[in-house]
């Protein structure tokens, strides 16, 4: 029986590329490219730092990735605009269906589990319309081990005080779903962009185009 629904934040609940609007205001004609590169480097940097065992909090990684993205696109980033764009990351848009879906899941424990450091993920959730729906926010920064390491998922498991099979984990990121499934969670891949799944011989339990699909888990439990 599923007792907790655990959501990744970036790309799953919140649209990371909604920051592109602010990027375009700061850098007209370059904002979309900077937004894409920013996210790509953000992912690469925490993977690399995890492998090298040179941990940095997610806010520092996000700032480093922003600086790279601006340099790559020939945009000069002032300290003022760096702060402006980093602040925009604390106000990302929710995907359209998220608020409605979470309101329908009040009978279950609802958890956000993110690689985001507390000073990024807590303000993001608190400023959103899902604040009252979420029971717990867990950050990988609490143990300085990023997902998809087993240690990160085990940290969430210990915080929830549940069995692995009692947790449904949802993410739009295939690497996150692979890690969670390998660890032993039930998984639902939220494939918002109609991507091809990774060839790692570890498949999600289910695949949905958005979070609306997870209602069937509630109906059968």
Residues near 205 by beta carbon (within 8 Å), at least 6 away in sequence = 181, 186, 187, 188
Q: Which residues are identified as catalytic?
A: 8
| CA nearest neighbour of 38 among 55, 24, 54 | 24
**CA dihedral of 130, 120, 6, 158, whole degrees rounded to 10:** -130
Coil vs helix vs strand at 15: strand
Cα separation, 35 vs 16, whole angstroms = 8
Preceding peptide of 86 cis, ω within 30°: no
C-alpha 136: how far from its chain's center?
Answer: 15
Q: Are 190 and 210 in contact (CB under 8 A)?
A: yes
| CA nearest neighbour of 153 among 131, 125, 185 | 185
């Amino acid at each position: 029986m599923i007792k907790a629904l655990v959501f990744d934040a970036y790309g799953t609940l919140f649209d990371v590329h909604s920051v592109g609007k602010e990027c375009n205001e700061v850098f007209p004609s370059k904002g979309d490219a900077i937004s894409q590169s920013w996210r790509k480097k953000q992912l690469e940097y925490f993977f690399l730092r995890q492998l090298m065992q040179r941990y940095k909090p997610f806010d520092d990684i996000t700032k480093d990735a922003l600086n790279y993205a601006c340099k790559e696109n020939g945009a000069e980033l002032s300290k003022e605009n760096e702060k402006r764009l980093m602040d925009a990351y604390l106000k990302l848009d929710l995907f359209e269906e998220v608020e409605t879906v979470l309101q329908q899941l009040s009978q279950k424990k609802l958890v956000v589990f993110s690689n985001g450091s507390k000073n990024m993920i807590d303000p993001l959730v608190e400023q959103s319309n899902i604040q009252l729906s979420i029971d717990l926010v867990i950050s990988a920064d609490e143990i300085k081990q990023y997902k998809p390491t087993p240690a990160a998922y085990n940290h969430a498991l210990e915080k929830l005080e549940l069995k692995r099979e009692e947790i449904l984990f949802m993410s739009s990121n295939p690497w996150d779903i692979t890690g969670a499934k390998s660890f032993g969670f039930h998984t639902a891949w939220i494939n918002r962009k109609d991507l091809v799944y990774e060839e790692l011989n570890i498949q999600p339990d289910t695949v949905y185009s958005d979070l609306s699909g997870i209602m069937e888990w509630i109906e059968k439990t």
